[in-house]
Amino acid sequence: MHSAYKTYQTTAVQTATPQELSLMLYNGCLKFIKLATKALEEGNIEQKHINLIKAQGIISQFRITLDMDVPISENLDALYEFINQQLVEANITNDQAKLAVAEDLVKELRDTWKTMMKTAASV
């Protein structure tokens, strides 16, 4: 069963549009933040760290793919930098409040992205 699911995931990524890939990344980032929060609550510092590093990797990927010639990119870059800083500080200090801030911001970005995708599809 695991192999079939892995195949499905691979196919989903390979056939996704760039917009769908971004949505997948936002969802993945949220998943890793939630897993890190759960691990922190359970006192599993190693799993917290592993999942926060994965979330930071996704945020870094968003930052490096920004087209800085587009005006909104500067604002997005600052927001991504802030989210990343919250994740780094949460990893160092085990601060659940910082994880919550990062999670809320990523949710807002994800939800905005989903709305944009629906709007673009209806045009």
74's CB contacts (< 8 A; 6+ apart) are 68
Mean pLDDT of 89-105: 98
Quick one: pLDDT at residue 123?
75
Would you place residue 122 in the very low, low, confident or very high pLDDT band (cuts 50, 70, 90)? confident
* Mean residue pLDDT across the chain: 93
Contacts of 36 (CB under 8 A, 6+ apart): 47, 48, 49, 51, 52, 55, 90, 91, 99
Q: Which pTM was predicted?
A: 0.88
Domains of the chain: 17-121 (1.20.120.340)
Q: What is the pLDDT of residues 57-92, one digit of tens each?
A: 999 999 999 999 999 999 999 999 999 999 999 999
How sure is the predictor about 15, in pLDDT bands with cuts at 50, 70 and 90? confident
* Opening angle at CA 115, ends 14 and 79, nearest 5: 85
Terminal Cα-to-Cα distance of the chain (whole angstroms): 39
Cα dist from 62 to 7, 35, 78, 97, whole Å:
25, 20, 12, 23
Measured in residues, the chain has a length of 123
